[in-house]
Amino acid sequence: MSKSARVWIVDDDRSIRWVLEKALNQAHFDTFTFESGDGVMRQLDKEQPDAIISDIRMPGINGLDLLEGIHNEYPDVPVIIMTAHSDLDSAVSSYQSGAFEYLPKPFDIDEAVELIKRAVTHSQERKAEKESSPSEPALVSTEIIGEAPAMQEVFRAIGRLSQSNITVLINGESGTGKELVARALHQHSPRKESPFIALNMAAIPKELMESELFGHEKGSFTGAGGQRHGRFEQANHGTLFLDEIGDMPSETQTRLLRVLADGEFYRVGGNTPVKVDVRIIAATHQNLEKLVHDGKFREDLFHRLNVIRVHLPKLAERREDIPRLTKHFLKKAADELAVEPKTLRPETEEFMSNLPWGGNVRQLENTCRWLTVMASGREIHVSDLPPELLDSHETAPTGSTWQEGLRIWADQELKLGKKNILDLAIPEFERIMIETALKHTGGRKRDASILLGWGRNTLTRKIKELGMESEDDEDDL
């Protein structure tokens, strides 16, 4: 961050202006103060600072009106709103008007300076980006994002199938994007001008599934007030995507098999055959071979569906795609909410790329929505991530050696803003070593001390310091 960064302070309280000015000067900022917001907009016409920190309640124009004017005319200038009257309405109004951050009084001066530093860094980085790449194109919106080798295999499969009407079975965990791949297969097929109809087997009650698939005639069952076309008829000449096919009841499996074999079916309660021309794409997160073996899925239907199989990798198997996916989802969420897209700090991007992502791409997309709403400022720090992603169980080191695991752990702790990490690491390291040595010696301290390379007295002292003593400890010789 440049030492000549310029910060404006707007507050009618002289003491607040004085304290902030002194603290910011010590942090090597140039400062300029205003007793009210009235002159700020006029001064902005002449020059723009790297950041502004402003009170809400002031004589003349109030802080929220000032914020709105700055955000509309000078959107690249981050504004921090501070107030002694902190309430829900003030906080909501501040963020809705485009505040970089909301700072309730009284505040810790060091925290205020750190927040201003974040705002200034964000401002300067945005300026640098615009100067270095003024015509940089926006992220290209594609059907499926993926540069990882596993995703390239999926793309190759879609390409090979682009001129085919063949049945496809998509395998992949929940949240990996199976429907997205099914839509891509349809869009790149000869049927692209015809309907794409999706039906999730797991979301349909068993008693309604046949009606959903094949339709029904008037009066065929209670509530059937008129004739209804099912998904097969709706998808005629197009593609029918059957998601979670492993959840289809056995009787419906039998009817589906007949349709695939004959190309015709009867509506529920009907006696006139209906002919259709439909391409089937099925998907499941389950092991269909095991379901067949267990008698829960028809083997003949399995072979009808399993003509071409496409496997979707877990997000953890395509980590190199996480930064680009995250950028895409942050932009998508910002567009949905009509706000400016947020960006990841480099350390946040690295941290997110190393998470396990048990919910796969869907979890990542939902996290980006959460961050768009909840993260403070426009740059996302590691500490801004949802608490469940910062949980120690999810971020446990996975290095192939203990040294690599320790390096990953230390790196993650420091990214989280932790300090004095040796105070935590060294006692835990010694505790694990002592416990393991005692396990190998059956609890004999003398032998354990030899394994550890310590003297007997050193081991006894360490056990006491670490609180590892128990009432049944025996002082073996």
- Could you give phi then psi for residue 312, rounded to 5 degrees? -95, 125
Helix axes 445-452, 421-440, angle to 10 degrees: 120
Residue 104: pLDDT band with limits 50, 70, 90: confident
Of the two residues 2 and 84, the one the predictor is more confident about is 84
The pLDDT assigned to 72 comes to: 84
Task: Give the mean model confidence (pLDDT) for residues 58-64.
Answer: 83
Q: 357, 173 in Cβ contact below 8 A?
A: no
Pair type for strands 30-34 and 6-10: parallel
Q: Bigger pLDDT: 399 or 339?
A: 339
Number of Cα atoms under 13 Å in the Cβ half of residue 428: 7
For residue 226, pLDDT over 70 is answered with: no
Domains of the chain in start order, with CATH, are 6-127 (3.40.50.2300), 149-311 (3.40.50.300), 315-393 (1.10.8.60), 417-466 (1.10.10.60)
The two tokens of residue 96 are 């809705």
Confidence of residue 134 (pLDDT cuts 50, 70, 90): very low
The mean pLDDT value for 226-241 works out to 88
Q: Given this model, what pLDDT does residue 323 score?
A: 93
Average pLDDT, rounded, for the chain? 84
Whether the pLDDT of residue 373 is over 60: the answer is yes
Mean pLDDT computed over 394-403: 54
- Of the pLDDT bands very low, low, confident and very high (cuts 50, 70, 90), residue 308 is very high
How much is the pTM?
A: 0.61
Q: Give the per-residue pLDDT at 395.
A: 47
> Which pLDDT band, with edges at 50, 70 and 90, does 356 fall under?
confident
Residue-level pLDDT at 444: 86
Q: What is the mean pLDDT of residues 280-306?
A: 93
Separation in Å, CA 213 to CA 240, 242, 252, 426: 10, 10, 9, 62
Q: What pLDDT shows up at residue 136?
A: 42
pLDDT tens, position by position, 451-469: 899 988 888 888 888 888 7
* E-only strand ranges, 46-128: 51-55, 79-83, 101-104
pLDDT classification of 186: cutoffs 50, 70, 90: very high
Rounded CA gap, 238 and 340, in Å?
38
DSSP state of 317: G
Q: Which of 233-247, 391-405, 437-451 has the lowest mean pLDDT?
A: 391-405
What is the arithmetic mean of pLDDT over 336-359?
89
Model pLDDT, residue 141: 40
